[in-house]
């Protein structure tokens, strides 16, 4: 259930999807860190948590978004309400979604779907020959990705303390076939 959709909040706060700005890396890092204890750590050992934290450092996020460190995150996008980032998504290696993070109070509001759709469209623009987009789903996000049209493409795996389900969505013709998702009710 979306706890961010009270009538009062809807009237005063519009959700905006945009490319990340250079200064956004600090807030993106804080968003990821806020999700580790309750959501991201479900499928992680202590080693996995340490890896996520190391990769969520503001400087490293800024370097990846800026194309200075491999893997480069491009395309990438954020969702924001005013100046507050409530969601972040990024692609690496041309067709692999590596990040989809949504602030806790905004779960169930369509933010993740909006980010994923924007990332897929970005992949298609940059790589028109791409046939699919992949991701590695944490157990807590598996049902959401299935609803978006992703399918499992192999067994769950565990590596360096991280457990995930590899998934793929076929994108050839996807944008033309599917209607645009309904806009968020953020008037």
In a domain, 25, yes or no: yes
Under the banding of pLDDT at 50, 70 and 90, the label for residue 8 is very low
Which residue has better confidence, 36 or 8?
36
| 29: in domain | yes
Q: Decide: helix, strand or coil at residue 94.
A: coil
Task: Select from 15, 122, 12 the least CA-distant residue to 79.
Answer: 15
Range of the domain at 11: 7-177
3-state secondary structure of 8: helix
Instruction: Look up residue 14 and give its DSSP letter.
Output: -
**Cα(41)–Cα(63) distance, rounded to whole angstroms?**
24
C-alpha distances in Å from residue 9, one per residue of 27, 63, 86, 120, 135: 21, 34, 14, 29, 32
Residue 44 domain-assigned (yes or no) = yes
CA 168 to chain centroid: 15
Q: What's this model's pTM, rounded to 2 decimal places?
A: 0.86
- For the stretch 83-138, pLDDT in tens is 999 999 999 999 999 999 999 999 999 999 999 999 999 999 999 999 999 999 99
CATH number at 95 reads 3.40.630.30
User: Is residue 59 situated within a structural domain?
Assistant: yes
pLDDT tens column, 15-53: 999 999 989 999 999 999 999 988 888 888 999 999 999
What number is the average pLDDT over the span 134-156?
94
The pLDDT assigned to 62 comes to 93
pLDDT at 148 over 90: yes
> Does 55 fall in a domain?
yes
Cα–Cα distance between 64 and 175 in angstroms, integer?
Answer: 27
Q: Tell me whether residue 78 is in a domain.
A: yes
Q: What is the pLDDT of residue 183?
A: 53
Q: Could you tell me if residue 155 is inside a domain?
A: yes
Would you state the pLDDT for residue 4?
65
Q: Would 184 be classed as within a structural domain?
A: no
Structural domains counted in the chain: 1
Confidence of residue 60 (pLDDT cuts 50, 70, 90): very high
Q: Say how far apart CA 53 and CA 60 lie, in whole Å.
A: 11
What is the predicted pLDDT for the residue at 74?
93
Q: Provide the pLDDT for residue 178.
A: 46
- So what's the pLDDT on residue 187? 40
């Amino acid at each position: 259930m979306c706890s961010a959709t009270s009538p009062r909040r809807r009237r005063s706060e519009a959700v905006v999807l945009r490319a990340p700005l250079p200064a956004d890396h600090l807030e993106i890092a804080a968003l990821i860190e806020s999700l580790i204890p309750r959501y991201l750590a479900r499928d992680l050992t202590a080693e996995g948590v340490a890896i996520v934290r190391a990769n969520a450092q503001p400087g490293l996020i800024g370097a990846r978004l800026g194309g200075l460190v491999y893997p480069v995150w491009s395309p990438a996008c954020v969702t924001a309400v005013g100046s507050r980032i409530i969601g972040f998504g990024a692609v690496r290696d041309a067709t692999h979604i590596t990040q989809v993070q949504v602030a806790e109070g905004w779960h169930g509001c369509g933010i993740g779907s909006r980010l994923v759709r924007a990332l897929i469209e970005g992949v298609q623009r940059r790589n028109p020959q791409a046939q699919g987009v992949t991701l590695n789903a944490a157990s807590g996000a598996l049902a959401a990705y299935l609803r978006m049209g992703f399918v499992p493409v192999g067994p769950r795996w565990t590596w360096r303390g991280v457990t995930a389900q590899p998934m793929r969505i076929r994108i050839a013709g996807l944008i033309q076939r599917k209607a645009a998702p309904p806009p968020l009710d953020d008037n």
